[in-house]
Amino acid sequence: MIIDEKIREAGIIGAGGAGFPTHVKVKCKAEVIIGNGAECEPLLHVDQLLMQHYAPKVVRGMELVMTATGASRGVICLKEHYHKAVDALNAAIAGKSNITLKLMKSYYPAGDEQTMVYDVMGEVVPTAGLPLDVGAVVNNVSTFMSIADAVDENKSVTDKYVTVGGDVQQPVTLKVPIGTPYRALAVAAGFEGNEDDYTLVIGGPLMGKLCHDWSETVTKATSGVLVLPNEHFLVKSKTREDKSDLRLAKAVCCQCNMCTLMCPRNMLGLQVEPHKAMRAAAMGNASLLGDPNGVYSCCDCGLCTFYACNFGLNPSGMMQKMKQGLSAAGYKPVKQVKSAPNSGMEYTRVPVSRLVGRLGLSNFDVPAPLVDKDLPIHIVRISLKQHIGAPSVPSVKAGDEVKKGDMIGEIKQGALGARAHASIDGVVTEVTSDYIEIKARR
Ligand code: SF4
Ligand code: SF4
């Protein structure tokens, strides 16, 4: 069976957070395969630990994608201070002249796909484009492991590695069944507080989403569950109402331009200008937005909001609003690179250590070692919407017995999507349009 079909059968999606179905991504001809192991968000440790502990499998997955796409070169990108991972990968690629490592400084957002492509290839992915426009396919290193499992061992995606951190006793990185409730992860990391006093951040502190429902569950794209006190700066900042953001934009934004000067996508020559989004919002005049096409190159990294702006304003939120407004008005972005990359890019890169301090996360910036233990998970809720595209279509009904790895959700016919699989042995107890619940046999 060809590689992309194996990947499709296994239900693999981008594990780094985007959730794009991988069988579609690798069905192409590429020159370079880039492995994203930079994991630029503070407090997350999954990719670093997987490269350290499973380097041969990471490299094997990359080789399979190179075979599928005909790529002649593979480059695994990771931070230079991940010493154990660097050593493990160097051993795994010994004798493989077509795979190299790209060691990066610890800056944010080193893991941004466009930034990484530029660092590796010296080429800029255009607005509204893909890395394939410059001959590259980028996969998270964890995705490579899933690909190796699928092709070599016929395994589907049933588990996910997740870092559990923040205000917990023992930050830890665990492998858990897809559909595990966040509450179980927090407890496993020694959380002892009152849930009502804390908020979860799903993903990294900057790009992650807040979650107040601790019964929500892990998906194939979940890489972090961070427990933060409700009064933490990040929680307060991310829960500020739109009307407050707008009022502050009108009253406080001095158009100093720092948000644009420090924007990593602007540095690439992509005409991303958050200060103009602030100006347009404050004045209620869309014509002040500047180049609308550039808005579509904003990757929502949050650097402008959480680092560049000294007044605590929310230009990244404003960029997202502008993008939504433009799309609702029927604007279609075009492929374009507006100007040459800024030669001073290196000097605007923000060290992760400084970002951690600015975000008030220094106390939580500690190791979260990989612990190989099974959590006592007796019930899972497996989302049918874990990926970009149409939700999976349930292929089981309540009362069905399933084994770990059985397919329970099929790709909607003719649509972009990914299969879902049972992550524990048990009985299907509920099937909705959102999820399938499985209870373990006692
Ligand atoms: S949002 Fe902040 S950084 Fe951007 S122009 Fe306004 S005051 Fe300056
Ligand atoms: S969130 Fe801000 S800094 Fe990040 S790409 Fe968008 S405009 Fe630039």
Domain 378-442 has CATH 2.40.50: yes
User: Is the pTM value of this prediction over 0.85?
Assistant: yes
d(CA 98, CA 399): 50
State residue 273's pLDDT score.
96
Is 18's pLDDT higher than 80? no
Q: How far is the CA of 123 from the centre of ligand 1 (A)?
A: 29
In contact, 426 and 362? CB cutoff 8 Å: no
Q: Maximum distance among all alpha carbons in the chain?
A: 63
Q: How far is the CA of 244 from the centre of ligand 1 (A)?
A: 15
Mean predicted confidence (pLDDT) in 81-85: 97
d(CA 427, CA 399): 6
Chain-centroid distance, C-alpha 344: 27
d(CA 337, CA 117): 14
Per-residue pLDDT tens over the stretch 248-283: 999 999 999 999 999 999 999 999 999 999 999 999
Tokens of 9: 């059968």
Name the pLDDT band for 40 (thresholds 50, 70, 90): confident
| 3-153 CATH, one of 3.65.10.10, 3.40.50.11540, 3.10.50.40, 3.30.930.10 | 3.40.50.11540
Give span(s): CATH 3.10.20, the chain: 158-232+360-377
Cβ(322) – ligand 2 distance below 6 Å: no
Between strands 159-166 and 107-108, the pairing is unpaired
Between strands 159-166 and 224-229, the pairing is parallel
State residue 15's pLDDT score.
87
Residue identifier of the C-alpha nearest atom 5 of ligand 1: 255
From 254, 260, 261, 276, give the residue whose CB has the most ligand 1 atoms within 8 Å, as the site to mutate.
254
Domain 158-232+360-377 has CATH 4.10.240: no
Name the pLDDT band for 1 (thresholds 50, 70, 90): low
State residue 318's pLDDT score.
95
Q: Which ligand is nearest to the CA of 272?
A: 2
- pLDDT > 70 fraction of the chain, expressed in percent and rounded: 100
As a dihedral over the C-alpha atoms of residue 193, residue 195, residue 196, residue 202, rounded to 10 degrees, the angle is: 120
Mean predicted confidence (pLDDT) in 11-18: 88
Residue identifier of the C-alpha nearest atom 3 of ligand 1: 309
Is 317's pLDDT higher than 70? yes
In contact, 149 and 10? CB cutoff 8 Å: yes
Give span(s): CATH 3.40.50.11540, the chain: 3-153
Q: Which atom of ligand 1 is closest in space to residue 255's alpha carbon?
A: 5
Pocket of ligand 1 (CB under 6 A): 253-259, 275, 278, 308-309, 311, 313, 315
Residues 6+ apart with CB under 8 A from 46: 39, 142, 161, 162, 163, 173, 223, 224
Per-residue pLDDT tens over the stretch 393-424: 999 999 999 999 999 999 999 999 999 999 99
